[in-house]
Structure 1
Amino acid sequence: PANNFTFTYRRRGIPEWDFSQVMPEELEGFVRDIDPAHAIRMINGSFIIGEYRKMDECTGLLLYYNELRDEYFAELRYKSYPEIDHHLDAKNLDDLAVLLREHLGAILKVKLLAGSINILVNPFTHRSCSPVQKDSKSARTKEMST
């Protein structure tokens, strides 16, 4: 994974950061699939440095680092619908560690498990959590008729 890390990402010490105390492998029924040492490079200077998800749902938390803005932030997904949560906004790893220790469990438990995320559903764009639908036209027609 380090081959895909930029100079800025490495300079911030993210690949070597000991996240084990603030990002356990499992928390509140969520599994950590991505960690800072195995981050995924995205577009516009962002890296996904952490992911917690429910194994059978499209619900979880993505933790990002953006090298252009030099900041950390989180995005929640509840049944595929996104929401930004500012409890994890940070400018450095030390601050992020404090925020993760204080808020990560509560965000996963209260916002995602309890479903208290703000969702506006458009019936024409609503999707199921299944990654592939073999007959997407009939699936959309059936979904719109319900």
Structure 2
Amino acid sequence: MFSKACEYAIKATIYIAKQSQHDQRVNVKEVAEAVNAPVAFTAKILQQLCRANILESVRGKQGGFIFTESHQKKVKIFDVVHLIDGNGIFTNCGLGLHQCSSENPCPVHDDFKLVRENLAMMTQKYSFFDLAQRTEHGLAWLK
């Protein structure tokens, strides 16, 4: 459903949130390995997340990526999806038609409308703090 870049961004953000809860900064290579993503691609994604003020990057020997706990509680999956993939997944036609609407529906319009609405609710429901806690307690995994 999400682009590969968005999937990597969500997983990377969860991983960094989890490590940050232990006051650990992580580098690009470590993040890429943790989420099974190419290092160069991960670097570009993390740069986007930093530019959007979702993550913080600290340079130097003790540097790395960090995601403060207070910020983790505010940032939702929706924020990362919106940044990486845009709002199309929440608004576009399930069949890719440009003129699909309630007045001019595609064959799956009503069913896909429910999928979009549920996806929007799910992505706005969970913060990265929630997701990091789930992985921390073994209730969810990133690989």
TM-score normalised according to structure 2 size? 0.29
Bigger share in strand: 1
Where relative contact order (Cα < 8 A, 6+ residues apart) is larger, the structure is 2
